[in-house]
Amino acid sequence: RYESCFIRERLLDMVAADLNMDPAELRLKNLIQPTEMPYLLGVTRQGESPTVFDSGDYPMALKRALEKIGYAELRQRQGRYEEGKYHGIGIGCYVKNTGRGPFECARVEVRGGNSIAVYIGLASLGQGHETTMAQICADTLGVPIEQITVFHGNTDYLPFGGGTNASRGTVMGGNAVYLAAQEVKRKVLTIAGSYLGMAPSDLELRDGQVHGKGAETEKPLLSLEDVVALAAPTSRFNPLEPGLDATAYFKSDQMTYTYGTHVAHVAVDPETGKVEVLRYVAVEDVGRCVNPLLLHGQIVGGVAQGIGATLLEDLVYSENGQLLTTTFMDYLLPSSTIVPPIEAIILEESPSPLNPLGVKGGGEETSLATGATLANAVANALVSFGVKATELPLSHNRVREWIRRRK
């Protein structure tokens, strides 16, 4: 979590300082290696299976982040006083459990007019479920995405669902859609094969049409709408139950583990205590990425939220326990004036072995390392003052007070 990541990563930087070692080097020496995956953590939650990191190349994420921001050059400027501000660079690494089970349900139905409906038990809160699930279904079935409509958040469609939480949408819901689409595809090719007198294995769905396998230039043998008609209850060519639909449950008793590295360059004004974030790089590996644009939005949004939590947001109480920050005049939120352009890098180095799509959750974890990353950067900027940056938020008053005490 945000708080535990802050404590761990600050301690690592303090250890590196005591050892007179580069913080990046210390991390590279101690990160779990790809050859150690899957990695048994030695922790078992009550009522759950042992915690196992499913896959990952943690050193790769750190190296990519350092390379992107130009770490070696910025490291030379660390603690330097330039144009009235002290500069610092900070690192934060994280691993986050995603895709909580035990199940998720989806139904895929091919309707008339080449229309395909995808029903999911998840509710979309802005993550882009409609797009992601449509992509998974389209890729699996071999149909244009324009033919697909996603329905969600209604128990009339599906009575059971695990809910939208724990970054589980793509991991659990996406794999349920994949399994349901696979079954529908099997039905389509079976019925088409029965009508054409061909083995289903000799057929394939491509661009919403049934083709002979390997026949790239030949005309389609059947349209998807033709197969819908052949699947009707009155059809004598359908060896299966009527209709082209399937309901699937994806089950998993293990969570997937997304990981990443954040690196930030800050400038601190010693007179005001203001922390300015000059650059911010976020590297994240989610296994296989279904939609890079959506994930990029999740990363940028998560980092912006984390910057707000680190620099601005604070619940302040009076001596009598009265909350003082009761309005947005007092409880400050991040805006475009303090959030720099977020440089997001999406890695697909380590697909999860726990599900057919190889995906991990993305979004919830993107704010985890911001507190640690910015606190490390501030501490490194103010190294000449001996500032430890062991508290959050890094408000103007708090940073200025740290500097005042050390002068």
Helix-helix angle 2-18:23-30, to 10 degrees: 110
Give the H/E segment covering residue 250: strand 245-251
Following CA atoms 287, 293, 299, 300 in sequence, which dihedral angle do they give, to the nearest 10 degrees? 170
| Tokens (6 digits) for 157 | 């469609």
Which residue, among 284, 256, 263, 260, has the nearest Cα to 347 in the 3D structure? Answer: 284
Nearest-angstrom CA–CA distance, 231 and 227:
6
Residue 3 designated active-site: no
Q: What is the DSSP string of 54-117?
A: ----HHHHHHHHHHHHTHHHHHHTTT-EETTEEEEEEEEEEEEEE---SEEEEEEEEETTTEEE
Nearest-angstrom CA–CA distance, 322 and 320:
6
Catalytic residue, from 9, 284, 364, 365: name it. Answer: 364
What sign results for the dihedral spanned by CA atoms 113, 114, 115, 117? positive
Per residue, the 3-state secondary structure of 170-237, as one string, reads HHHHHHHHHHHHHHHHHHHHHHHHHHHCCCHHHEEEECCEEEECCCCCCCCCEEHHHHHHHCCCCCCC
Which residues are tagged catalytic? 364
